[in-house]
Amino acid sequence: MNKNPYPLLGIVAFSGTGKTTLLRQLIPLLKAQGLKIGLIKHAHHRFDIDIPGKDSYELRKAGADQVLVASQQRWAMVTETPEQEGDPALSDMLAHLDQCGLDLILVEGFKHVAFPKLELHRPALSYPLLFPDDPDILAIATDAALNQETTLPVLDLNQPEAIANFIQQHILAS
């Protein structure tokens, strides 16, 4: 399950359930508790973090396999992986984080990988629950009653403060 030396929690759900929305609410709450947060987000499509016309974009498009952009405020690296088949491995992505300065690593996506997860579920979207088939799900955050019994903690998806408390008590205190 979690062989990472640092607390790790995935936020998993079907597309459109609100993973990014919840993370945008959770991160400031956790930061207010003095935590340093790392984040890995899985993308199902090609993406650019720089803007067409900017030097970093143009240099990458010119053929650079890795482009590191650095300023006084931040740095970012883009690595091209055209020969990679399938999604990247979460373990490989974790290795790229500077984990020594982090208190918690949150992962959006990678729902088919074995590591501790919080499932988001909105019954109105008619997606099936993930937890019956995934022993790594620790709790479910939902906006309505579940149509299935569970012994897992059930959290209110509309109460990010309660979810942040769950993370403090069950992920960080472990």
Please write the tens of the pLDDT for every residue from 46-70.
677 778 888 888 888 888 888 888 8
Where are the domains positioned within the chain? 8-42+87-172, 46-86
| pLDDT confidence bin for 3, thresholds 50/70/90 | low
H/E stretch holding 94 reads helix 90-95
**What confidence score (pLDDT) does residue 98 get?**
82
For the entire predicted model, the pTM comes to 0.87
CATH number of 8-42+87-172: 3.40.50.300
Instruction: Say which DSSP state 88 is in.
Output: P
Which listed CATH number (2.20.25.120, 3.40.190.10, 3.40.50.12780, 1.10.10.10) goes with 46-86? 2.20.25.120
- Closest listed residue to residue 171, CA positions, set 13, 26, 25: 26
H/E stretch holding 121 reads strand 117-121
